[in-house]
Structure 1
């Protein structure tokens, strides 16, 4: 170690740019065979910069990481604290799936932020968790029922609902749940796009749908991945030219999800 250079190498001298791959991560395969999604450094950096602003995380915070590294949202739990100087408490698999142990970790490490699915938050509440008023909750991976958010909101500092496919770099939109009043059977909105991200709702002809109408969700901007590893046909089918953006080479990802404004 003593013989290594004291400074980092110059990436330009090595021919490295922000367009090089940060990682290849496989989707769950819920809509077919798993696909290797190629995500570039620029996309990850944009995501982290956006969430440094959204989360307000700082060096005084401690983030509880409960996600396996085979799932892309683990990048938020590891890189976001690294970007801000915050601490990370790593939960093992047993603790991350056991409500009593999760409660213990939150209290013992004085956790100030957790990212988890609605199922995990429901599990905690159903086992009598009283919450933590300083805790900032990030919720994603599943539709978030409004009644669950209402129960959770009474016990934590804030709730943020997140949405995004692997193909657009972790999370693409964010909604802060704050005294939102809708019928209890409603799901919480996925909110608005994060920085340098564009969202379109299009009909089957590729035209924007009117306000209130259901359309297919397309995502453009800095988070759009390079494509699928060794699957050029599928890449061409899902990663399309963005006709609504004036930037040369701009692309958008066809999510297959339905939404409305």
Structure 2
């Protein structure tokens, strides 16, 4: 007996190809990044802790992509409504946690570069883990609220396909506005961090012995802004105007962050490959 539920959705091979490509690229990149960070840094520095959690967040998204590929390649969904909601939540959790962890990485670099002495009591492993726990608790609370909302809007739509929320749905989600406000606020914080660090490094440009380190630091900030501009800004603006779950093109854009996030580590190759003690020296101004 075939338990596959056919929602009447025509296969959309272009989306299947996009999500398949993100899966093929994002899985090995993030798995290797996580292995390297754990092996070389041992969760003993703020940057390493944030980057490890960022890699975990991306891997949670990646493991949900095979079912998206299957759905868009076949036009059928075999697992029911709850599984559809669960995979949708993995996507939403990744967008929220990734954006926050990238911002925390930028803020940590800001403190290390602009306030290296005054920030030492703040940039501790204990404080970093407290921040990480708060991030996941925040994401978990939003998860519960969003799950209830998705269950409500999918309840009366037996013919609606998984991941493709009905265009004629008229209820506007408060969560969508919160999501867009969060994304735009985090973008503003990253812009402020980048500007402050750039100005500080420019003042010390005469220190030629540390030019390579300064370039690596700025590349990290630039890459953070690129990720926000490409992956997070369009969905945030769309949510602000639509007030309902994102359509598939925006989900494709946002999902691409799991392929771009590893560049935050690779743009600082010296710090990424070295042991914790050498990495900290390489990343400091």
TM-score normalized by structure 2? Answer: 0.23
Q: Which has the higher strand share?
A: 1
Higher RCO (CA < 8 A, seq sep 6+)? 2
Structure richer in helix, relative to its length: 2
Length-normalised TM-score, structure 1? 0.24
